Chain A
């Protein structure tokens, strides 16, 4: 027990050092600098929202300020129907978007990696169970499920996060499982087993670090994706009705007739917010992929990710599939070879 606690402690300590080193490496990239700066900026805005926002975004009492265009007092104008200050709403909206996006991204990475590594390394019944669960979850259409679940379970944004995680881990765990299948047959895992390492030790020290590039990339990219999804959900009127989020601002703009009255500032402001957040996280995701995969170092760009997806682990998966096929062929060809 003591040894287990010790190794967990060491694990986290090392991760901590690793994160510091990692941020330094991201900073070394131009794209990474852009991403990190923007994310830091968004985090500061979210944390210090009450000090940054000049007005109370929930304040609908001041009916005299209805539908004002951008000016020095109202930086981004006000809403048409309630007269809320849009800049303040935008600042407060950062909180919801960041919390929903980042926490779902992190939770997806945790759930996906734990289940993926377990399925890949332990195998057998555990593997079958997890993979069948993935199959079932993957065929369920996402949006209708989310709509139904938010209606049943309520619209608190923690519930929305949980729903996104419950659906989002499947793809990641599948990719991780296939990577683990390759890693667990490597000789260094065998050497560790030979020295008496426990399954836990091997999973934590050898297999999980081997999937880290996938995890970090997935966290960054799925955070971005979920921010958009959350905005979409709020736009459909399915978000948390009490919280101010960018999606809800768009929904209000739509229902409040922003287009009709030419209140462009009401539509553009939340759009800029969503764009900035997604752009920042995408930058980080791309840079991480570049750092951890030396084959990508020479050039950057989104298409490289896809190119690389094809050439690295997907190829490994195909190779392992080929090996299985060959064993099968050998067994069926045995009659003809020497008959």
Chain B
């Protein structure tokens, strides 16, 4: 355990990603979308790391920053001991071959003009070190690994179902023996009946190839079943982070509560406390100064509006960023009546 902590596979330090928004007039910047702001996290070797949050909270942008698809505006990403955005072009390309991605939509992630062999062998073809025969042998090996057959080699993506296409996507992702795999909602576009198959396939492959996964999802049941550690994101910030078991047993952040209570349960007899959030996620162009969640938080106080909530470790491997849980920090100057609950939210 101590060894893996010394040498994490991904270490993100105070990473922020901003996207400029163009105004109506040229040359005038209207502002920035702060997709990810000041996120630090560590992913250990061999674990499955879950990223949870609602649409538009920056999950995918964070994952893209991890694998070098989006350059962070601030902070650094250290992959396998190397600072990703300070490498030379060739080193960057070589390093990035250790990471791959599985996409959400299996229909747009495969080029409809390529046959199965061309799709799966493409990363190898781009690397340009292998002969046709080696590539073919490797592709057949992978097809069998993901549960397809050799006969599918020259068929086209349109001949396959969603689940089978996702298997092709997985085969393409692992052909160069990556060590780090980002799964961007790999099952959410599939039929429910296929979920388990694909998830089992992913965990089998992880065991066989000793991969590290980052698993982006908004399905908490999936995260609970396959992830080791997780973070809960809201509007570009980490709300709660830690061991999956700890968080599910003892959720502290009001947002995590709300997410957990929204999980559908087939067992109707189980009565739970329902936390229903009002409104939508605010625009990331001009996020709240204080806690990002205060507008929709059932426990919000006056002070939450202006004082940002720091991430504080509450127990081993469990970090929460919430004033309600941690109390307001003492060093910050607080206004009058900072701890009175916000009225409209409290009434609702």
Q: Which residues of A approach B to under 8 Å, CB–CB? A: 3, 6, 186-188, 190-197, 201, 206, 209-210, 327-328, 330-331, 333-334, 337-338
| CA–CA, A138 and B296, complex, Å | 52
* Residue B96 at the chain A interface, CB threshold 8 Å: yes
Evaluate contact between A210 and B113: CB separation under 8 angstroms: yes
Task: Give the Cβ gap from B342 to chain A, nearest Cβ, in Å.
Answer: 13
Task: Give the Cβ gap from A202 to chain B, nearest Cβ, in Å.
Answer: 10
Evaluate contact between A188 and B111: CB separation under 8 angstroms: yes
Which residues from B are CB-within-8-Å of A201? Answer: 126
* Docked complex: B162-180 residues within 8 A CB-CB of A: 169, 172-173, 176
Q: Which residues of B approach A to under 8 Å, CB–CB? A: 21, 24, 30-31, 67, 69, 93-94, 96-97, 99-101, 103, 105, 108-111, 113, 119, 122-123, 126-128, 169, 172-173, 176, 279-280, 282-283, 285-286, 295
Does more than half of chain A's interface fall in helix, strand or loop, or is it mixed?
helix
Task: Give the Cβ gap from B131 to chain A, nearest Cβ, in Å.
Answer: 13
With A194-B101, A196-B96 known as contacts, the answer to whether A334 contacts B113 (CB < 8 A) is no
Q: Name A186's closest neighbour in chain B (CB-CB).
A: B108
Contacts between chains A and B (CB distance < 8 A), count: 76
| CA–CA, A292 and B273, complex, Å | 56
Evaluate contact between A334 and B282: CB separation under 8 angstroms: yes
Q: Name A210's closest neighbour in chain B (CB-CB).
A: B113
Task: Give the Cβ gap from A319 to chain B, nearest Cβ, in Å.
Answer: 13
Point out the residue from A191, A193, A328, A334 that lies within 8 Å of B103, measured CB to CB: A191
Point out the residue from A196, A210, A334 that lies within 8 Å of B283, measured CB to CB: A334
Which residues from B are CB-within-8-Å of A327? Answer: 21
Point out the residue from A6, A192, A209, A337 that lies within 8 Å of B122, measured CB to CB: A192
Which residues from B are CB-within-8-Å of A206? Answer: 111
Evaluate contact between B108 and A334: CB separation under 8 angstroms: no
Task: Give the Cβ gap from A265 to chain B, nearest Cβ, in Å.
Answer: 50
| CA–CA, A197 and B126, complex, Å | 6
Point out the residue from B93, B128, B295 that lies within 8 Å of A338, measured CB to CB: B295
Point out the residue from B108, B126, B127, B173 that lies within 8 Å of A188, measured CB to CB: B108
Evaluate contact between A187 and B283: CB separation under 8 angstroms: no
Which residues from A are CB-within-8-Å of B127? Answer: 195-196
Evaluate contact between B69 and A195: CB separation under 8 angstroms: no
